[in-house]
Amino acid sequence: MSDSVAVFDAPPVVRLTGGCGQPRGLLGNKAYGLDAMRAEGLPVPPAFCLTTEVGARFLAAPEQTLDAIWEQVVGAVGWLEQETARSFNRGPQPLLVSVRSGAALSAPGMLDTICNIGVTGAVHGVLKAVCTADFADDTRRRLHEMYRRIALGDVAGAVPDDAYDQLRGAIGAVFRSWESPRARAYRRHHHLDDVGGTAAVVQAMVFGNLGASSGAGVVFSRNPITGADEPVGEWLAGGQGEDVVSGSTDCEPLAALRDQQPTVYRQVLATARRLERFERDVQDIEFTVEGGRLWLLQTRSAKRSASAEVTLALRFRAEGLIDDIETLRRVTPAHIERLLSPSLEPAALRTAPLLARGLPACPGFASGRAYADIDAAIDAADAGDDVILVRSSTSPEDVSGIVAARGIVTEVGGVTSHAAVVSRELGRPAVVGCGAGVVAALDGTIVTIDGTAGEVRQGALPPVAWSECDSAELAELAGIARAISPLRAHHDGPYVRLDDPTPSAVRAAIDAGHTDVVSDHPLVVMLTAVHADHWPAKDAR
Amino acid sequence: MIELKTLQTVRLKGRVSLDDLVAGVDEDTAAIAETVTRLVDAGLLIDGKTLRLSPSGRARLDALLAAERRSADVDAIAAAYRKFRAVNADFKALVSDWQLRGGQLNRHDDADYDAAVLARLGDVHQRVAPIIATAAQQIPRLSVYPRKLDVAYAKVRSGDTAWLTRPLIDSYHTVWFELHEELIGAAGLTREEEAEAGHGG
């Protein structure tokens, strides 16, 4: 055994005791977060981790790799049994586990998870006796569905009737999910490389589907869409965590938990705030409540909108959680460029139904009532209404309607169609080629068209664009950047002009000895300079 | 014939002032004004801030166009229209390249790029002339289009590039759009069918 273990550079199986002392890159984000939460004394179901090193070696030699560490895996399962006072593969109090992926860089939803491992025929009988028949059946159904889909790739395949065989099969499936097409596509999109692999986290299950006062939820320590200083989340009474994160079940807002279990609700909020201060970032936390007891399954930095990124970075700085450099690291030039171009508010996009999608023919935004009839459209526009012209295709006689309208939608025709040509010439946002039936569906409703994305949404949604001059937040960021950036940029002054904010142009200005420049977008220039200066590898990607 | 020309021009313009109508119909100014008065009195045209077709005016126009088609060789027009589709695709690509560059609105700050796009208009202008001539042998009314295209082409060539695509004036695209509509109708097709087939839009 010592020989086989010696091939690993670091311990291959790590018990997350709350002081395991291993680096994030080895453990993967998920295991690292669990260990950190445990160190904080937070209620985390006991877990151990097969490291990213094991995951990488598995891809080259699956069976040999698992053979080499299996004795340690079995030992770690024994530790879970002790921690939970339950037993794996048998009664009287069966232990079930989940196997989750956890790479060093998070890829939400891209890798696989299998839950409820350990439900064998015999264990099912025990669960039926000590819990309820419903619970036993529900848990076995969940295991079989996930195991067949993920580990077997066959909806009719046979799930092994031994808990350790299930565990081994699940670990292999999670490791293999690193190479799935969707995971590869995600890494490619985010410029992450394919080397390495994912870790696998084996964790004792807690049950949101076990009777009253149970359920599962997700909480964000602050609103990741708007950046507002308010926790938001979802709650599903009687559900398991997978039901919530997969989006397969309709959840209630987190406030429902406050009504059902006020003490647990307060614990959730207090924990979210504590984790946020500990991680110095907005947290996205999965939790389960089993019989009125709160368990934390995962915490990670929340994905967020560009506007929330700016708001939150400044808020965290004001609260003393991050310094100036970290503030500027979080806000990239791309974030600012996105905010400076008009767009629909992220919060509005989440609630406004998408009514039609087509080709973006003329960029920009327009809201108004949809009219299918030219004369009615012109009359309404003459009366001062905001009109969106919706036509199957456009004829020359429609041009006067396009002139009167704020925006155009067509069923057929491409971006070179006459309607598209005229709309661009008039600067009327246009979405073309939305497909048959759109005219009838939209006629008479208030819509907003996004000629940049090619979308038509319900309701009048005002586009917003931030301005470097008018936005207090961007002005504050510019102030911070001006003190740090190797190149100070200003709206005006007796300096050379730099209109091109690309890294190469900014680098050239610095190399030419300039310390101050004038630009229409000083913040973008300075953030480009700061990022190129401090985090060149990231910008080079 | 002056009634057909007047009604068809009003239809293609959608809503039109008397001045613009006079400019668009190749007939004597007084005769046009007299025709408009008669058509308004007959309830075929609606005279408001601008002139437009009434439903009965549209029906009258459809009848006149159908009669015009009956005296023509529709197969010959359809053959001309098939040739037009190929030139039309090139013209629309030219116009899109003029308006858009790399998916963004063309800021017209690159004279070389703009000149290269405009240079393609000569080829289009040359290729469309015989097609219109063939169609005009069947529908003589269409012979007004080469003259209108010549005027717009000359203005674009002289550097007045608004005459390439601007709506509401007889720019090259405006005239082309109307010509396209005429050919679709003369060939016995509809705009909807053509759009579905990927030739209209």
ipTM of the complex: 0.87
Which amino acid belongs to residue B148? K
The residues of chain A that CATH labels 3.30.470.20 are 215-301
Residues 401-420 of A with CB under 8 A from B: 401-403, 410, 412-420
Element (H, E) at A223: none
CB contact under 8 A, B201 and A394: yes
Residue whose tokens read 């019989």: A291
**Length of chain A as a residue count:** 541
Cβ distance A396 to B178 less than 8 Å, yes or no, reads yes
Residue A385 C-alpha from the chain's centroid: 39
Q: Give A191→chain B minimum CA distance, Å.
A: 23
Say yes or no for a CB contact (<8 Å) between A398 and B104. no
Residue B41 burial (C-beta neighbours within 10 Å; 0-12, 13-18, 19+)? exposed
Between B14, B192, B194, which is nearest A399 by CB? B14
User: Which pLDDT does position A247 carry in this prediction?
Assistant: 61
From A425's Cα to the closest Cα of chain B, the distance in A is 6
Percent of chain B with pLDDT over 90: 78
The CA distances from residue A57 to A54, A168, A189, A199, B153, in Å, are: 5, 15, 25, 11, 69
Supply the pLDDT for residue A537.
56
Average pLDDT for B88-116: 87
Helix (H, G, I), strand (E, B) or coil at B4: helix
Per-domain residue ranges of chain B: 2-68, 73-196
The token pair at A438 is 């759109």
Q: Do A396 and B12 touch (CB under 8 A)?
A: yes
Distance (Å) of CA B118 to CA A427, B114, B145, B158, B159: 21, 6, 20, 11, 10
* A2-204 has CATH 3.30.1490.20 classification: yes
Phi and psi at A518, nearest 5°, equal -105, 135
CA distances from A406 to A329, A331, A450 (A): 40, 34, 12
pLDDT-derived band of residue B200, with 50, 70 and 90 as boundaries?
A: low
Smallest CA–CA distance from A419 into chain B, residue = B201
CA A267 to chain centre: 24
Nearest chain A CA: its distance from B31 CA (Å): 24
Q: Which fold has domain A347-464?
A: Glucose Oxidase; domain 1 (3.50.30)
Residue A413: closest CA among chain B residues belongs to which residue? Answer: B201
Q: Check: CB of residue A143 under 8 Å from CB of residue A157.
A: no
A375 contacts B201? CB cut-off 8 A? no
A219 in contact with B, Cβ within 8 Å: no
Q: Do B99 and A414 touch (CB under 8 A)?
A: no
Domain formed by B2-68, architecture: Orthogonal Bundle (1.10)
Contacts 24+ apart (CB under 8 A), B98-107: B98/B164, B98/B165, B99/A421, B99/A424, B99/A425, B99/B165, B100/A415, B100/A424, B104/A363, B105/A363, B105/A424
Strand partners, A517: A489, A496
Which of the two residues, B168 and B173, has the higher pLDDT score? B173
Q: Are A69 and A13 in contact (CB under 8 A)?
A: yes
DSSP symbol at A452: T
Residue A530's nearest CA partner among A497, A489, A475, A474 is A489
| Interval B112-164: pLDDT, tens | 899 999 999 999 999 999 999 999 999 999 999 999 999 999 999 999 999 99
**Sign, Cα dihedral of A500, A506, A511, A515:** positive
Which pLDDT score is estimated for B183?
Answer: 95
Interface A–B counts its CB contacts (< 8 A) at 92
Q: B10 to each of A60, A361, A462, B24, B185, how far by Cα in Å? A: 75, 28, 37, 9, 16
CATH 3.30.1490.20 domain locations along chain A: 2-204
Residue-level length of chain B:
201
Chain B hits for A363, CB-CB cut-off 8 Å, are: 104-105
Q: Was domain A215-301 assigned CATH 3.30.470.20?
A: yes
Candidates A48, A49, A68, A47; CA nearest to A57 is: A68
pLDDT by 10s per residue, chain A, length 541: 444 444 788 999 999 999 999 999 999 988 998 998 999 899 999 999 999 999 999 999 999 999 999 999 999 999 999 999 999 999 899 999 999 998 877 665 567 889 999 999 999 999 999 888 999 999 999 999 999 998 998 888 999 999 999 999 999 999 998 887 777 777 776 667 766 789 999 999 998 988 789 999 999 999 888 889 999 998 999 888 777 766 667 788 899 999 999 999 999 999 999 999 988 999 999 999 999 999 999 888 888 888 899 999 999 999 999 999 999 999 999 889 888 888 888 778 778 899 999 988 888 899 999 999 998 999 999 999 999 999 998 888 888 899 999 999 999 888 888 888 899 988 899 999 898 899 999 999 999 999 888 999 999 998 888 888 788 999 999 999 999 999 999 999 999 999 888 888 899 999 999 999 999 889 999 999 999 888 875 443 3
pLDDT of res. A190: 66
